[in-house]
Amino acid sequence: MLTLYDQMGGDATIARLVESFYRRVQAHPTLSQLFQEDIRGVKERQYAFLTQFFGGPDLYTERYGPPMLRARHLPHPISPERRDEWLSCMQGALDEVGLPDPVRDQVFAHLALTARHMVNQE
């Protein structure tokens, strides 16, 4: 059975998704404030995480250790509004990448569940 990583198109699609997503984040009026001007490191970690998250090679764990997403995000204020803004940027990126609807829907559902778990303030 193919993983979501495979169904998405693997490495090339994940790379395009990360680029598209962070282009949106950097242009966003509130999300852009959460990141330093040079976000190469953030993009590299996101690429490694999404690769592993969707069933590709364990890049994140190999490079950075266990994901422990909630713990890693606790220092950052994540409200339901910020979660929704993040998801909106990701939705736009998924649209740009052009995944087929059933795959796109599965990918977004996984990301939405994870984003909900990251909320750490009202």
Indicate if the pLDDT at residue 36 is higher than 80: no
99 contacts 13 by C-beta, under 8 angstroms: yes
Q: What is the pLDDT of residues 37-87, one digit of tens each?
A: 789 999 999 999 999 999 999 999 999 999 999 999 888 889 999 999 999
pTM: 0.94
69 contacts 116 by C-beta, under 8 angstroms: no
The larger pLDDT score, comparing residue 38 to residue 94, is at 94
Residue 112 token pair: 């939405």
Mean pLDDT of 11-19: 98
Find out if CATH 1.10.3720.10 is the number for domain 7-118.
no
The residue extents of the domains of the chain are 7-118
**pLDDT score, position 37:** 78
Write the DSSP assignment of 33-63 as a string of letters.
GGS-S--HHHHHHHHHHHHHHTTS--HHHHH
If pLDDT is split at 50, 70 and 90, which confidence band does 94 have? very high
Tokens 């649209």 locate to 95
> What percent of the chain has pLDDT above 90?
88
